[in-house]
Amino acid sequence: MKKNKIKKADIVFALMIGMVVIFFWLCHWKAKNGSIVRITENGITTEYSLEKDREIHLKNNKTGGVNKIIIQDGKVYMEEASCKDQICVRHREIWKNREMIVCLPNSVFVEIVGGEEADIDN
């Protein structure tokens, strides 16, 4: 009776399993970490990772307008703004691709690029 020995094919199979696992893991990792928070103030654009918690303070040198943006637990929201209408502060938090918070009076645009697709097109 032939003894069960490791053959070349076994190693190939093992490697294949490993590759498939790594592929799916990579896909998952990319989807999770692909999101960027793009903040444009007066035409100047800065990008941040959505995954790293932080506070962003903006000051418009021309108008003196102030905005405080919070990135927390993979979501972004406008914590404070010096604008009169406060529409941006009332906006819900955003985290899906192409979602946006706008503070018109201070000309601040916060946009999500990449990541989970939004359910809606508008």
Partner 1 sequence: MRFLARYRHIITAIVTCLLFAFLVFMGVKSKDIKNVNLKSSVYAGNAFGTAIKKTLYAEDKSVLGKVSDDIDKELKDIENQISVRVADSEVTMLNRNYAPGGKYKLSDTLLSYLEEEMQLCEDTKGAFNPCIRPITNLWGIEDGETTIPSDESIQKALSYCDTDNMELCEDGIIFQEANMMIDFGATGKGLACDRVRKVLEASEAEGAVISIGGSICVYGDKGDNKPWHIGIQDPRGEDGDVLGIVDVDGTKTVSTSGDYEKYFEADGVRYHHIIDPDTGYPADSGLISVTVICENGLLSDGLATACFVMGLDEAMEYANNHEVDMIFVTQDKKVYVTDGLKKTFRLTAEGYTLEKYEKK
Distances (CA, A) of 79 to 16, 37, 118: 48, 15, 22
Q: Which of 80, 36, 92 is nearest to 56 (CA)?
A: 80
Tell me the Ramachandran region of residue 57: left when phi exceeds 0, alpha when psi lies from -120 to 50, beta otherwise.
Answer: beta
Residue 119 interacts with partner 1 (CB under 8 A): yes or no = yes
Per CB under 8 A, the list member of 71, 94, 95, 115 interacting with partner 1 is: 94
Residue 16 interacts with partner 1 (CB under 8 A): yes or no = yes
- Which window, 16-24, 28-36, 51-59, 65-73, contacts partner 1 (CB under 8 A)? 16-24
CA-based angle 43:49:51, to the nearest 5?
145
Do 67 and 106 touch, CB atoms closer than 8 A? yes
- Which window, 44-52, 56-64, 67-75, 94-102, contacts partner 1 (CB under 8 A)? 94-102
Cα separation, 98 vs 46, whole angstroms: 16
Question: Could you tell me the smallest distance in angstroms from the CB atom of residue 11 to partner 1?
Answer: 9
Residue 30 interacts with partner 1 (CB under 8 A): yes or no = no
Residue 61 interacts with partner 1 (CB under 8 A): yes or no = no
- Contact residues for partner 1, defined by CB under 8 A: 4-7, 9-10, 13-14, 16-17, 20, 23, 84, 87, 90-92, 94, 98-102, 104, 109, 111, 119-122
